[in-house]
Chain A
């Protein structure tokens, strides 16, 4: 049986590989950026450092979705909303860091508020100058929204496609709200023109490298946390809820509580991903709430493979790398490629790339066994593998 405690979650094979590869890749990029001179062919540009940081934020977001979709069976089509809320919380702090270096030179009010003739900060901007307070907000705002939303939805036993539709409506409603200037988050333009974070200039290479490393650490911690949860008895109850909710309820589990906590945790992780994303790309605007973003996110997880955690990470990085390359060559065709990819994965790779790799490995092992024994041993039961 898969026993689990924190120690095994940290030290099991998948976690070692995951953390090893993640930090190996990040260390390589950082070293090639910092130590190799810019005119050398081996030099990695700061653009690439930031690009990798961005991919890792997406990877964290995808892992958050995998937790609710892959393990708990809740297909959220609005997870981009939690990502954007975390991003806005960070954006508020970054706006306050600009201080009097804005276009209007107001030491307290961000430029867009001066432009709107506001005289003082709205109450919900109070405290945004504090990094500590901002860190609390980053977790609290998406978490609280997910908790209230989930409490209402799961208590009323809204499931399946209906739940997906209302999550989609949630992110759309937030997008429309954030487009409005009166809301006090910069309206259409969002929050941008950031200068510093914790006093370090965002234009410095060293700051970019530090942000990349911070993102990698967040991703690794989230991976260990999610593995601990999915490997615990609670994780097995969560999967039982996915596979047979009424049966699990009949066994005496309050399934709505399990769903609520997983959904809330996932939203917090998505918020952290958004907060790490904003200083690296330098802008947050209502477009991040766009339903399209949340759907793209589902494609990443589907491509990588559900219910493995690392599959979501692989999917997020590969699809986004593909997007970077593809939009460079023929930008207008990207959406068609993305749609085609989703159809292809659904039809041919129901368990994503991770499932494909598993199948290949099993086939190889089988043919290996045949060659060495000379005969296929049919009475040997095949290693159990989880069906799709």
Chain B
């Protein structure tokens, strides 16, 4: 057993606080200061280091924006968290106990990490409400879905989630007929139906009108608090408008982190990204 294994996050606490843990293995333990711990992550593709010794912590209920020029490793970082890409080095823990580098994509999704992809992929011939019904957490066997219609509580949850993203009046509209922005919100609502603790949002405002962008900013701020939200975005204007903690990535590692004003005035950041 090497040194790193001995000091893995889930082991350390066992030794330090024997008998105090009531969380079963495999269950999410949010007792620590942070919800997500990424430490010293390195990912390389054919010698190119997409992530280079990246360390990042996300607090519960935080709204975090990740910016950086193309190729800074933003998408690779998301892929590591969701289990799509395995890091060559480093650890990635969700809460105190869940080692994301050892879990499959479905297990990670089940543990409470939801990801909204860049391109909206709603089911176009289902209504908005039916899209949420499909995404809802719960039993997904053929027999269960055949004999159990939605109960009142589940129907209320669908309506409440649609209300959260401002699509309640589109409840029975076919998703294919929604505008681009509405599809994006519907997709966010679909992720919310899985009741995630951590919500990863990839470029949420691509192709949106000004009003839709404002609405999206409000929505993301509203979601933070109950969920931790990580937003990857290019648009500086948008990030300024949601005024949260910003992490700037450059060449696969963190270049700067802090409040938007501080980051904006950081000479290193100005040089590589903002100044261009």
Residues on A facing B (Cβ under 8 Å):
1-5, 229, 232-234, 236-237, 239-240, 243-244, 247-248, 251-254, 257-258, 261, 381, 384-387
Contact = CB atoms under 8 A, between A and B. Distances in A.
A189 to B, nearest CB: 42
A386 B125 contact: yes
Most chain B beta-carbon neighbours within 10 Å: one of A1, A4, A244, A258:
A1
A288 B126 CA distance: 37
Nearest to A388: B125
B172 A384 contact: yes
Nearest to B148: A233
Nearest to B177: A384
Nearest to A6: B147
Contact of A387 (B121, B123, B176): B176
B145 A4 contact: no
Contacts of A1: 127, 129-130, 133, 150, 155, 171-172
Nearest to B132: A1
Nearest to A249: B106
Interface in B214-246: none
B146 A232 contact: yes
B: contact size bracket? 20 to 34
Given A234-B146, A247-B121, A387-B124, A240 B134 contact: yes
Contacts of A234: 142, 145-146
A384 B174 contact: yes
Contacts of A258: 142
12 contacts: A1-B171, A3-B149, A233-B145, A237-B134, A240-B126, A240-B134, A243-B125, A243-B126, A251-B135, A251-B190, A252-B140, A254-B140
B256 interface: no
Given A236-B133, A386-B125, A387-B124, A229 B146 contact: yes
Interface in B166-180: 171-174, 176-177
A247 B146 CA distance: 20
A95 to B, nearest CB: 37
Nearest to B127: A1
Contacts of B127: 1, 384
B250 to A, nearest CB: 31
Contacts of A385: 174
A145 B127 CA distance: 35
A242 B177 CA distance: 18
B123 A5 contact: no
B109 interface: yes
Considering residues B124, B140, B148, B150, which has the most beta carbons from chain A within 10 angstroms of its beta carbon?
B140
Interface in B110-142: 110, 121, 123-127, 129-130, 133-135, 140-142
Contacts of B155: 1
Nearest to B115: A250
Given A240-B123, A386-B125, A387-B176, A233 B142 contact: no
B173 to A, nearest CB: 5
A39 to B, nearest CB: 54
A2 B130 CA distance: 9
Contacts of B141: 254, 257
A243 B109 contact: no
Given A233-B133, A261-B142, A252 B109 contact: yes
Given A1-B129, A386-B174, 9 more contacts: A1-B155, A1-B171, A2-B130, A3-B149, A232-B145, A236-B133, A251-B134, A261-B142, A384-B173
Nearest to A262: B142
Contacts of A237: 134, 140, 145
A232 B149 contact: yes
B140 to A, nearest CB: 5
Residue from A233, A236, A239 with most neighbouring chain B CB atoms (10 Å): A233
A253 B177 CA distance: 25
Interface string B154-195: 010000000000000001111011000000000000100000
Contacts of A239: 123, 125-126
Contacts of A244: 121, 123
Contact of A233 (B149, B171, B174): B149
A236 B130 CA distance: 8
